[in-house]
Amino acid sequence: MSRAVRVVRTLSLGLALALGAGQASAAGALAIDSNQGDQYGFAYSYADFGQAQARALNECGAGCQVVLQFANECAAYAADQASGSSIYGWATASSSGAAQGGAISQCQAQGGSSCTVRVWGCED
C-alpha cells in the first residue's frame, strides 16, 4: 500500500472517530411518583439512558419510578387526575407540542376523563 493511501486511510479513520465522538447520544428519561405525578423529574441530552434515568429519579425524589425513556426526540407522559384513576398515556414526537398532544390523546383513548401532562422533556 502506498504511503499516500495509508495517510488518506488514517485521516479518514481519524475524521470518522472525531465525528462520532462529537455526536451526543441524546438519551432522555421521564420519572413520576406513584400519585400520578405530584412529583416528577426529567432529563434529556445525556450520554446514555443510565445517566438520564439517574437524573430524572434524583430530580423527582423518593418513591418515583422512570415511566419513559427516549432518544433524540421529545417525550411526554400524561395521567388521568380523576380520583382513584390509574389511566395514563405517553408519546414521543419531534416537537414538545406534538408529544404532549399525543400523550393526552392516548390517556383519553384509555378512558381518562381528566388527563393532564405531568412531565415532558425535549431535545429541541
Q: What is residue 106's predicted lDDT score, i.e. its pLDDT?
A: 97
Q: What is residue 92's predicted lDDT score, i.e. its pLDDT?
A: 94
19-71 pLDDT, tens digit each: 334 445 699 999 988 877 689 999 999 999 999 999 999 999 999 999 899 99
Question: C-alpha grid cell for residue 111?
Answer: 378512558
Beta bridge partners of 43: 29
Q: What is the pTM of this model?
A: 0.72
* Of the candidates 114, 118, 80, 84, the residue with the CA atom closest to the CA atom of residue 99: 118
Q: Are the CB atoms for 90 and 68 separated by under 8 Å?
A: yes
Q: What is residue 46's predicted lDDT score, i.e. its pLDDT?
A: 94
The set of residues, in sequence order, having a beta carbon less than 8 Å from that of 4 and lying 6+ positions away, is none
9 pLDDT above the threshold of 60 = no
Q: What is residue 101's predicted lDDT score, i.e. its pLDDT?
A: 97
At 49, which helix (H) or strand (E)? helix 49-60
Q: What is residue 25's predicted lDDT score, i.e. its pLDDT?
A: 60
Q: What is residue 124's predicted lDDT score, i.e. its pLDDT?
A: 61
In angstroms, the CA 55 to CA 63 distance is 14
90-120 pLDDT, tens digit each: 999 999 999 999 999 999 999 999 999 999 9
